[in-house]
Structure formats: structure tokens, C-alpha cells
Amino acid sequence: MATDLATPPAKAARKARKRRADKVPLGTALLRYRWLYLMLLPGLAYFVIFKYLPMYGVTIAFQDFLPFLGYSGSPWVGLKHFEALFTGGDFGRLLFNTLFLALLHVVFVFPAPIVVALLLNELRLNILKRSIQSLIYIPHFLSWTIVASLTYVLFAADFGVLSGWIREFLNDTAKIDYMAQEEWFRPLIILQQLWKMTGWGTIIYLAALAGVDPNLYEAARMDGAGRFRQLWHVTLPAIRPTVVVMAILASGNLLDTGFEQIWLMTTSLNRDVANVFDTYVFYAGIQNASYSYSTAVGLFKGVAGVILIFGSNWLAKRLGQRGLF
């Protein structure tokens, strides 16, 4: 159990340390590594206080929770809220909308930083590379509220800059309210995510690319490999572990479509496609004060996330990659 708490490096190292720890009496080890153990404490306290203790709160998913009555006073109702969720009319649509957005995210948003990082990596001029890098980080620091406002300014039916250009380009006079059309909701969401997240996402891949041994490229060139051959046989295999780890982490967040962005882009006209678990929890939990019901929805989401992480980790190992754990 103690070894689980420590950061797990490679298996061999863990075994070696275990052997060593078994031999040294604990008091000695504690004394010898006291500063290391002390440094461990704040991190441990953080996880216990802010991550594990609050988990006690999920018990209200099995109660009819009223804050005034508290955890102990609220009546227990078993699986009532889960039944209401799974049999209610909204569940199918919520699941579909959430999964559809997640799928689009995996197909378009997830690979985008990899592509951009590879492109940046091919740039010869260092100053150009650096300035592009800095510029594409900027959207990451803007809040979703600002992104939504920008979208509105660009796409508003009445005076939107982009929608005006599109109208002129297509020689079409009909004013389309892109922000209010069901069919435009998902494209806009994905466009916003691409714009906001791509640049920031390249950081980790660029770091991985920086670690590739230049000798490998040299060797490949000696063997007559061109640019694309080098990319295919050297660069991509080098960043594959990073991609796999990022993919496993992303799979755990598959049902996290994010609240802010979706909520800001929801209107009466696109709610049928826009309603996802995260916004539903807000409507039911905060606006309607159904704390227990929305906790049940959130708990379902959490359990699904855990299953997805373990599933994809298992899959990655099955496919011969190194998993997360």
C-alpha cells in the first residue's frame, strides 16, 4: 500500500526499492528520508482534504437531501434518483448529445495539437517557430465567456462580420442565425475548441519532440530517408507514448463536455442538441435545487469516466503500448 502512494516508476526500480526497504528497519528509513517524507505531506494532505473527504458528499445521491436537514437528517431513498434518471425522458438525448460531442472532440480536437506540433517541428527558422508558438497559446488564456462573445460578434445574424462575408460570398441574402441553428451548434462548438485549445495542447507534444535523439534523424538521412520517411519512422514512434498517455487521460474526460462553453452557446432553438450531462446537472441541481438528483447524475458520469479510463488503459496495454498504470 505504501508503494502505491509513492510515484510509480518502472517496475524494476520499484522491485529494487522494495527489496532495499525490506532490509532497512523502518525507523532508520524514516529518519534517513525524513525530509522526503515531509515533502510528501502537503501533497498527501491536498488529496485527502480536497479530493477524498468531499467524496463523502456523494452519499446524498441516495437521499432526498435538504441542506437544512443535513446529511444525517435527510431521508434515505435508495436508488430512486438513479431510476428517475435512467427511466426519465431526457436520458437518451443527454447521452447521445454528450457522446456525439465527445466523438467530434476525439476526431477533430484531439489530433489537432499533434498536427500543429509536427508542423512547428519542421520549421527551420527558430524565431518564427517561437513567435508562432507564443501566439497560438493566447486563446488558452481567454475565458469561454469571451470566446462566446467573439463568436457572437462574428456570427450574429444581424451584423456578424463572418456571417456578412459568407452572405456576400454565396450571394445569398437570407440572414442565417448560426448561433441559433441546431445544425450549426456542434460545428461552432468544435471550432471554438479548436481555436482555444489547439495551441496550448501543442506544449506537451513539442516537449516530447524536443527529446528525440538527433542521431536517429541523422541515421535515417544516411539511409536515404526523406522528410516524410523521417516523420513516419522517427518522429511519430518517438512521440507515440505521449500520444497514448494523453489519449488515456482524455478518455476519462470523455463525458466532460465542459459546462461553461456549452451553457453559453445554448439557446431555445438548439437546446435539443445542446443539452449535455454537465448543463443538465446545473439546471436540475442549482436552478431547481434538486441536489440529490443532480448528484446522482454527476456520480453516474464519474463512474462512467472511471470505467473508460481503466478500459482504455487496458486496451492500450493489449495493443502493446505502455499504459498509465
Q: Which positions lie near other proteins, rule CB under 8 A?
A: 1-2, 5, 21-22, 25-27, 29-30, 37, 40-41, 44-45, 48-49, 53, 66-69, 88-90, 152, 156-159, 175, 177, 179-180, 182, 267-269, 271, 280, 283-284, 286-291
- The CB-of-271 to other proteins minimum distance in angstroms stands at 5
Please check whether residue 312 is in contact with residue 251, taking contact to mean a CB–CB distance below 8 angstroms.
Answer: yes
- The CB-of-277 to other proteins minimum distance in angstroms stands at 13
In the three-class reduction of DSSP (H, G, I as helix; E, B as strand; rest coil), residue 63 is classed as strand
Of 140 and 186, CB closest to other proteins: 186
d(CA 27, CA 34): 10
- The CB-of-204 to other proteins minimum distance in angstroms stands at 31
Please check whether residue 285 is in contact with residue 279, taking contact to mean a CB–CB distance below 8 angstroms.
Answer: no
Of 129 and 167, CB closest to other proteins: 167
- The CB-of-162 to other proteins minimum distance in angstroms stands at 14
Of 137 and 165, CB closest to other proteins: 165
Exposed, middle or buried by CB within 10 Å (0-12, 13-18, 19+), for 145?
A: exposed
Residues with Cβ within 8 Å of 322's Cβ and at least 6 positions away in sequence, in order, are 241, 244, 316
- The CB-of-99 to other proteins minimum distance in angstroms stands at 20
Question: What amino acid is encoded at 114 in this protein?
Answer: I
Of 118 and 269, CB closest to other proteins: 269
- The CB-of-190 to other proteins minimum distance in angstroms stands at 19
Question: Which of 64, 102, 108, 81 has its CA nearest to residue 304?
Answer: 102
- The CB-of-279 to other proteins minimum distance in angstroms stands at 10
Exposed, middle or buried by CB within 10 Å (0-12, 13-18, 19+), for 257?
A: buried
- The CB-of-26 to other proteins minimum distance in angstroms stands at 3
Of 5 and 249, CB closest to other proteins: 5
- Phi then psi for 275, rounded to 5 degrees? -70, 115
Phi-psi region of 10 (alpha: psi -120 to 50; beta: other; left: phi over 0): beta
In the three-class reduction of DSSP (H, G, I as helix; E, B as strand; rest coil), residue 323 is classed as coil
Of 166 and 204, CB closest to other proteins: 166
How is residue 111 written as a grid cell?
A: 489530433
Of 180 and 216, CB closest to other proteins: 180
- The CB-of-308 to other proteins minimum distance in angstroms stands at 26
Question: What amino acid is encoded at 74 in this protein?
Answer: S
Count Cβ neighbours within 10 Å for each residue of 163-198 and write b for 16 or more, e otherwise: bbeebeeeeeeeebebbebeebbbebbbbbbbbbbb
Of 27 and 214, CB closest to other proteins: 27
- Phi then psi for 254, rounded to 5 degrees? -55, -40
Of 50 and 228, CB closest to other proteins: 50
Question: Which of 155, 160, 249 has its CA nearest to residue 201?
Answer: 249
